[in-house]
A and B are shown apart, each in its own frame.
Chain A
Amino acid sequence: MAVLTLAQAITDALDIALDNDERVLLMGEDVGKAGGVFRLSNGLYEKYGPDRVIDAPVAESGIIGTAFGMAVAGMRPVTEIQFMGFSYPAYDQIVSHVGRIRSRSRHRFTSPMVIRMPYGGGIGASEHHSESTESIYAHTPGVKVVVPSTPYDAKGMLLQAIDDPDPVIFLEPIRLYRSVKEEIPVGAYLVPLGLARVLVPGDDVTIITYGAMTAEARKAVAILKQEGVSPELIDLRSIVPFDVDTVVESVEKTGRAVVVHEAHRTAGFGAEVVAQIQERALFSLSAPVQRVTGWDMIVPLKRAEHHYVPTAERIVAAVGKTLEE
């Protein structure tokens, strides 16, 4: 066992994958000599060389399009898009090719590749550096979309994503890179994709979230417990596939639910969660399901960002609404 941050857990997983499987390579802007802008590939260029840890030209469509070709031809590319906000030049490749090839070739060709993207706000970054637009990718058929929030999950899910026979978008919460630490196993282990996890068991209300918002939700849970409320906190870990069973089981017990994400509200993933809850568990509900989300606006810069990113206070208020009924 070793105590690692979420960032170190990802580095560890990349190192293991490059070491174990010659088909694996890492490609992205500044991932080589500089070790990535977040230093997540630190030391890997020195260890595996420029053919396997590749400094790409500044060309996101190029990175994803060529990685797609490599994946089709038998490699296991792990790509890094420097920030989620710079993934859009590659969106055409993802929606038109990466997510389609298996189906349009009826399994003849496949594109097993990982697209890593640091995402999310709350750190007062520059424009485009705080995006949380996972719904765009969840709405794109043929790609899985996963979001670890702990070092243990980050390592096991990344190794699983690299092994997955299909393309996986692997979202990395920037805010949690270095703020969470835990003891995790040394060496390879896998965490299956598509399973939610109950972080805190409880009886009164289900709080459903993922990624960086797990940190705010944990704070809200602490406040609610002091007020005598017993919330159950679920970390989805994966939004495609979406583990609706775990959510429904919890809501059937608590009868109340609040979905939290920092993404924009309209057509955010919370809307999907609410829709599925009402399809499967409407009659277990004692109150309307609430959403705590970012707003339908550009993520504000540093000085006004606090108006945007959901806070524990807003989560507590939304829980309060469900309890009024």
Chain B
Amino acid sequence: MLQILTPEGELVGDPPIDVPMTRRLYRAMVGARLYDRKATAIQKQGRLATYAPFEGQEAAQVGSAAVLRPDDWMVATYRDAAAMWMQGYPWELLLAGRTGHERGGSPPDYVNVLPPSITVGAHMLHAVGLAWAERLQGNDRIAVTYFGEGATSEGDFHEAMNFAAVHRTGTVFLCQNNQYAISTGLNAQMATDTIAQKAGAYGVPGVRLDGNDLFAVYWAMKNAVDRARGSNGPTLIEAVTYRIGPHTTSDDPTRYRTNEEVDDWRSRDPLERVRRYLELNGAWDEEWQKHIEGEESAVVERAVELAEGLNTPDADELFDSMFAEPTSDLESQRRLLESEGG
């Protein structure tokens, strides 16, 4: 398993990014964690529908998304808010979706990120089509798809890998192996030792790395993105990581894993090791930490306000969203709703 930065913050390989860039990505991970904790907290107050926390997976998401060009495509899941935010999807829209507002699915025009996929598996194919279409249109935009290890059990994973391989599409498959699909651990999910090895079956390179190591993630993603952009085909990256929180706010993880296991993974925290590395390099102190936490926290607070402040969609917004022009059926249903009352 590839590793560049140990949990103790020591280098065991060449860092792929310089210190100023490392500070920027560390700050992004801090912001992402603040968002995640805030979302979890306000869900508990009943202000969000269920929420799927990503704590522990910040390096896998931030480190990989940081490699992308702003116009690259991203197709990710309910647990990938940090990656989507890195690619320009604003916190307030990610939150809006969780408050139960469809406008959360509508990012700004310059953001090529599809709304998070809630169904497991299907979206991986979309990243194949997106990258393929870009090449057909003479562009060098690539597409990355994020998914969990559980998603590799769906048939669509195999179809996507095969399609991408056969047509050499510029797709990066980024699997965050966070050890559990809800309650189902790796042993009940698959009989292979790794996910990366599955790539071989399709003629695709597979890379396995420490997903809590920002540098390893960045390095592997950089290679995969360069390959994709250079029309050399897809790559499967397995980022080995851990979901520190519950599957969602409705889950009780004590039913299927031990506290010792969670504590063990906490000691491999993706933020802490970068913090130590920066400190060793004289690029971190308490004051700066407080400063970035203050600023990132303000951004998150503002996002909560904006998301909750969106006005409730009226019935017209719903009827008008289905087709370019509402059909006659929808028009008559709209009239019926008006006459019968909501």
Contacts and interface: CB of A to CB of B under 8 A. Distances in A.
Interface of A: 29-30, 32-35, 37, 55-62, 85-86, 89, 124-129, 265-266, 292, 295-298, 300-308, 311, 313-314, 317-318
Residue among A32, A55, A298 with the highest chain B CB neighbour number at 10 A: A55
A61 B154 CA distance: 8
A266 B182 contact: no
Most chain-A Cβ atoms within 10 A of its Cβ — which of B153, B184, B313? B184
Contacts of A298: 322
B118 to A, nearest CB: 5
Contacts of B317: 304
A266 B155 CA distance: 31
Interface in B97-138: 97, 99-102, 118-122
B282 interface: no
B101 A58 contact: no
A55 B184 contact: yes
Given A57-B150, A124-B49, A303 B313 contact: yes
A299 to B, nearest CB: 10
Contact of A59 (B100, B154, B182, B339): B154
B250 A301 contact: no
B182 A34 contact: yes
Contacts of A314: 337, 340-342
B183 interface: yes
B255 interface: yes
Interface string B48-88: 01100000000000000000000000000010000000000
A27 to B, nearest CB: 12
Contacts of B251: 34
B201 interface: no
21 contacts: A29-B182, A34-B252, A55-B184, A55-B188, A57-B150, A59-B155, A61-B154, A86-B120, A89-B122, A126-B49, A127-B118, A265-B333, A292-B340, A297-B319, A300-B318, A301-B49, A303-B100, A303-B313, A304-B318, A307-B342, A313-B341
A41 to B, nearest CB: 11
Contact of A62 (B153, B250, B255): B153
A89 B157 CA distance: 12
Interface in B171-203: 181-184, 188-190
A301 B184 contact: no
Contacts of A301: 49, 97, 100-102
Nearest to B334: A295
A317 B341 contact: yes
Contacts of A317: 339-341
Contacts of B183: 30, 32-34, 55
Contacts of A305: 100
A304 B312 contact: yes
A220 B189 CA distance: 47
A295 B342 contact: no
A32 B183 CA distance: 9
B247 to A, nearest CB: 9
Across the A-B interface, the 10 shortest Cβ-Cβ residue pairs: A302-B100, A34-B183, A57-B153, A301-B100, A317-B340, A58-B150, A304-B313, A314-B340, A303-B100, A307-B315
A125 B190 CA distance: 29
A57 B49 contact: no
Interface in B287-309: none
B100 A297 contact: no
